[in-house]
Each structure stands twice: as C-alpha cells, then as structure tokens.
Amino acid sequence: MITTDLTPGSPCWLDLGAPDVPAAAAFYGAVLGWEYESMGEGEDMEGGIFRKDGKTVAGLGKLTEEGARSAWMIYYSVTDADATTQAVERAGGTVRVAPRDLEDWGRMAQYSDPLGGQFAVWQPGKDTGFELADETGSLSWTELYTSDAAAAKQFYGDVFGWQYSDMELPGGSGTYTLITPAGLAEERMQGGLMEVRKEDLALANGRPYWHPVFAVADCDAAVAKVTENGGSVQMGPEDAEGVGRLAVCLDPSQADFVVLTPARG
C-alpha cells in the first residue's frame, strides 16, 4: 500500500502535464472529486494543486515540452537527488531534468530509464509530498508497462533498491512483478511492472510508461464520469481477483490512468 510515510524509494508525488489546464482541472474534478487550486494568476491557469477533502493529492501544469504527450509523472522520494542522478547514469538511464531546488520546498529531478520510461524523484525540503494516499480519490498504486521486465527490474533495483516478487497472471497471460521499497515488509507494496509487447506501448510510441492507479468508491460510476467528460476507456471495467474492480482510462488529452475499487478484505 502507498502511504504518506514517504520512505525512500516510495511514491511521494505525481503531476500531470496537460495542454489545456482548465479542461484537465474540470475533468479530474468530475471523475475523482478533486478540488483545483490555481497557483497562477488570471485566466491562463498555468498550473496548480489538486486537493481531496482539503489534502493535496497531485499537481497540474501546462504541457510545454515540444513533441511530448500528455501524461502523469510519478515522483519517488529520495534522500539525495544528486546521488540518485549518479545512480541513474551508472545504471544506463538518462537525465531529462538535472537536480534543482524549488525554493525551500525540496529538490527534484526527472529521468528516463534505459528503454525510455520516464519518472522523477523528490528530495524533501519543507514539502514531503502528497497528504493523502490509498484512500478514495487518491493514488493507491503505480504501474509500469515495459517491453523488457528483466531490464526494468535491474535498472530500478540499482537506482532505488526495490524488492520484487513475481506472480503469474490468470490464464497464462504473463508475469506481474510486485514492487516493495527497500527494507520494508510486503504489506508496503507500492506498485507493479509488467512486460508487454512493444506494439502494446503505442500510447508512448513504443517506449515504456508508468501510470497511476486512483482508488474510487465505485469503478463503474467513475468510468461513466470519464466518458461523460470527454475521456475514454481502454480496458474494463472488469474484476481482478483479490485486487478489485478496475478500468484503464484516458483523459481527453490521452493521458492514461487507472481507476480501482479495491476488493474488500
């Protein structure tokens, strides 16, 4: 489970780069019940913060990178962003944004893994990360689709020290690797990675990609809100034994995410 006890190597933040910030704010407000607080001035609304029940859950900003697709960026907590950058480079990854301070809030950097999957890190300062996780309307899981699971496990293990456990998917449809932060028990599992065919990665032009899983009270109701507000559904809703009812969705700008109503224990 993802918690707000933001141990090194665990997800601590996520933000969305969107071509139309007001439209994205309205969409996620309708689907996930988020309130949006603009950090800019005037009608341009270049970026801001999403809150759920008054607690920060994610960020939103204007997509400015030329040729980039709209997508969620997941940040992992680290104690030293510069040391993590060196580890990324040693393991064959690429630095997209070199470590930099965001005033006294913290220090961030963004990377690509050796196959092109993008992720980021946050070295906490005054701000440690999101204030709500694993609750309705917040991040509950992270997931990587990659064309080479073994290479991904090696890379992220070298960078974060993640622990892995494999499980076979029903019907012989492949292996799913569960991810736990270094030194923690398996109940702190935070995500998974799965090998897929390169043609199944068309959303990111053949590159691996991470996406967030958001907990919702009613998966089918959330999917109805997705489609009513200009989004679409790639898969589901369907039941996953021991996991819950889920659907893979796209927002109106084609950023992917999952909504999940967790199975009752």
3-state secondary structure string across 152-208: HHHHHHHHHCCEEEEEECHHHCCEEEEEECCCCCHHHCCEEEEECCHHHHHHHCCCC
Residue in the structure block whose two tokens are 């988020």: 34
Residue in the structure block whose two tokens are 């499980």: 167
pLDDT tens by residue, 100-127: 999 999 999 999 999 999 999 999 999 9
pLDDT tens by residue, 46-65: 889 999 999 999 999 999 88
CATH topology (fold) of 11-124: 2,3-Dihydroxybiphenyl 1,2-Dioxygenase; domain 1 (3.10.180)
In this chain, the answer to whether the domains covering 11-124 and 139-259 adopt an identical fold is: yes
- Whether the CA torsion 212, 218, 221, 225 is positive or negative: it is negative
pTM of the model: 0.95
Per-residue b or e along 101-118, where b marks 16 or more CB atoms closer than 10 Å to that residue's CB: eeeeebbbbbbbbbbbbb
What residue type is assigned to position 179 of the chain?
I
Is domain 139-259 given the CATH code 3.10.180.10 in the classification? Answer: yes
Helix axes 21-32, 219-228, angle to 10 degrees: 150
| Residue 84, φ and ψ in degrees, nearest 5 | -65, -40
Tokens representing 252? Answer: 């109106």
> Alpha-carbon distance 149 to 10, whole Å?
19
pLDDT band at 265 (very low <50, low <70, confident <90, very high): low
What percent of the chain has a predicted confidence (pLDDT) above 70? 97
Q: What is the CA radius of gyration of the chain?
A: 17
Lowest model confidence (mean pLDDT) among 45-49, 66-70, 154-158: 45-49
Q: Domain-by-domain residue ranges, the chain?
A: 11-124, 139-259
* Cβ pair 257, 72 in contact under 8 A: yes
